[in-house]
Amino acid sequence: MKALTFETGETVTLLYQLREDGAAKDITGMGFIFAAKERHTDAAYMVAPVAGAIDDAASGRFSFEVTMPSSPFAGVYGVVMEAGGKRTVLTSPGGDGIRVLESLVD
């Protein structure tokens, strides 16, 4: 997944599509979670875990509606897929980069 940059307090919809061997993967019955921390080893979340919504299961499309914190930070985010008691991390080991910058407009 790619690095993300947002402004403080911004509410965003993050759209994803899961593909396997180049084809859309059916995600019926799966769950998805998004969260962010300053460091992957931190106990405290900067963006508390958010459950994803399945937008089109047959096409592998899911999304998260996330409100960024009111304080700027730089850290890592993770996306996890859960199915049948198993978890699959969809981001890089230790997470992918996220930055939340001070808003330019007050």
pLDDT interval class at 54 (50, 70, 90):
very high
pTM of the model: 0.91
In the predicted structure, residue 103 carries a pLDDT above the cut 90? no
Taking 70 as the threshold, does the pLDDT of residue 39 lie above it?
A: yes
The Cα 29–Cα 103 span in angstroms is 38
What pLDDT digit, counting tens, does each position of 61-81 carry? 999 999 999 999 999 999 999
Q: Is 50 domain-assigned?
A: yes
| Residue 24 neighbours by CB distance under 10 Å | 15
For residue 106, pLDDT over 70 is answered with no
Domain assignment present for 36: yes
Supply 24's token pair. 């859309």
CATH assignment of the domain containing 70 = 2.60.40.10
Look at strands 73-83 and 53-56 and give their pairing: unpaired
Please give the tally of structural domains in the chain. 1
| Rounded distance between C-alpha atoms, residue 71 and residue 103, angstroms | 10
SS3 91: coil
What pLDDT score does 24 carry? 94
Domain interval for residue 18: 4-101
Q: Is residue 106 one of the residues assigned to a domain?
A: no
Does 10 reside within a domain? yes
Per-residue pLDDT tens over the stretch 12-29? 999 999 999 999 999 999
